[in-house]
Structure 1
Amino acid sequence: MKKKAWAFIFFVILTLGSSVAISKNVEDTLIKSISIVSAIGIDSSDEGYEVTLQMINTAAKPDSAGEVPGSIIYQQSGRTITQAVKNILNRNPKKIFFDSAELIVIGEQTARELGIHEILSLFLTESEVSSSIKIMVTKDFPASKILKTITPAEKVSSKRINDIVHSNELNLGSAASVYPVKVMNDILRNIKGTALPYVTLSSEKEIGSTQENISSPEPEVLLILNGMAYFKKDKLAGYLTRDESKTFLALTNSAKKTSIETKCGADDKGYFTLNLERSKTSIKPEYKSGFISFKVKRKVRGELLESTCMQDDLKQLESKAETFLKSEMASLIAKSKEENNDFLGFLKEVYLRNPYKFNEISKKWDKLYPETPVEVEVDLTIEDIGDVNRIP
Structure 2
Amino acid sequence: MKKKAWGLIFFVILTLGSSVVISKNVEDTLIKSISIVSAIGIDSSNEGYEVTLQMINTAAKPDSAGEVPGSIIYQQSGRTISQAVKNILNRNPKKIFLDSAELIVIGEQTAREQGIHEILTLFLTESEISSSIRIMVTKDYPASKIIKTITPAEKVSSKRINDIVHSNELNLGSVASVYPVKVMNDLLINIKATALPYVTLSSDQDIGSSQENISSPEPEVLLILNGMAYFKKDKLAGYLTRDESKIFLGFTNNTKKATIETKCGAADDQGFFTVHIKKSKTSVKPVYKNGMVSFQVERKMKGELFESTCRQDDLPYLESRAEAVLKSEMVGLIAKSQEENNDFLGFLKEVYLRNPYKFEEINKKWKELYPEVPVEVEVDLEIEDIGDVNRIP
TM range (shorter): over 0.9
How far apart are 1:388 and its partner, in Å? 3.7
Paired AA for residue 332 in structure 1: L
**How many percent of aligned residue pairs carry the same amino acid?**
85
Q: In the TM superposition, what are the counterparts of 1:132-281 in structure 2 within 5 Å?
A: 132-266=132-266, 269-281=270-282
For 2:83, the equivalent position in structure 1 comes to 83
Give 1:315's aligned residue.
Answer: 316
Contact (CA 8 Å) 2:41, 2:51: kept in 1 or not? Answer: yes
Q: Secondary structure at the match of 1:104?
A: strand
Matched, 1:92 2:83: no
Matches of 1:314 and 1:285, distance apart in 2: 32
State how far apart, in whole Å, the 2-side matches of 1:271 and 1:153 are.
32
Any gaps of 5 or more consecutive residues in structure 2?
Answer: none
Question: What is the CA deviation profile of residues 122-158 of structure 1, one whole-angstrom value per residue up to 9, with x for unaligned ones?
Answer: 0000000000000000000000000000000001000
Q: State the 1:385 CA deviation.
A: 2.1
Give the aligned partner of residue 356 of structure 2. Answer: 355
Compute the displacement of 1:8 (Å): 1.1
In structure 1, stretches of 5+ residues that fail to align are none
| Aligned-partner Cα distance in 2 for 1:256–1:244 | 16
Aligned with 2:175: secondary structure? coil
Alpha-carbon offset, residue 93 of structure 1: 1.1
Shift, 1:387, TM fit: 3.9
Query: What is the RMSD of the two structures over their aligned residues, measured on CA atoms?
Result: 1.0
Match of 2:371 in 1: 370
Distance in 2 between the 1:25 and 1:203 partners? 44
1:74 alignment partner in structure 2:
74
TM-score if structure 2 supplies the norm length?
A: 0.98
The aligned residue for residue 15 of structure 1 is 15
TM-score of the superposition, structure 1-length normalised? 0.98
- Partner Cα separation in structure 2 for residue 188 and residue 154 of structure 1: 37
Q: Name the SS of the counterpart of 1:127 in structure 2.
A: coil
Structure-2 residue corresponding to 1:283: 284
Structure 1, residues 170-189: CA drift from partner, whole Å, max 9, x if none?
A: 11100010000000000011
Compute the displacement of 1:384 (Å). Answer: 2.4
Q: Distance in 2 between matches of 1:362 and 1:200?
A: 36
Structure 1 Cα separation of the partners of residues 366 and 99 of structure 2: 40
In 2, Cα distance between the equivalents of 1:213 and 1:387?
41
Distance across 1 between alignment mates of 2:77 and 2:194 = 27
Residue 6 of structure 1 deviates from its aligned partner by: 1.2
Is 1:129–2:129 an aligned residue pair? yes
Give me the whole-angstrom Cα distance separating, in 1, the residues matched to 2:42 and 2:306: 42
Question: Equivalents in 2 of 1:65, 1:316: separation in Å?
Answer: 50
Q: Deviations over 1:38-71 (max 9, x none)?
A: 0000000000000000000111111111111100
Cα distance in structure 2, aligned partners of 1:250 and 1:324: 14
Counterparts of residues 315-334 of structure 1 (less than 5 Å) = 315-334=316-335
| 2:101 counterpart SS class | coil
Q: CA deviation digits over 1:95-128, x for unaligned, max 9? A: 1000000000000000000000000000000000
Whole-Å separation in 1 of the counterparts to 2:168 and 2:63? 23
The 10-residue stretch of structure 1 (260-269 or 193-202) with the greater mean CA deviation from structure 2: 260-269
CA deviation profile, 1:345-383 (whole Å, cap 9, x unmatched) = 000001100000111111211111000000000011111
Secondary structure of the 2:38 match is strand
SS at match of 2:193: coil
Whole-angstrom CA distance in 2 between matches of 1:351 and 1:9: 69
1:301-334, Cα deviation, whole Å (9 max, x unpaired) = 1211111111211111111010011001000000
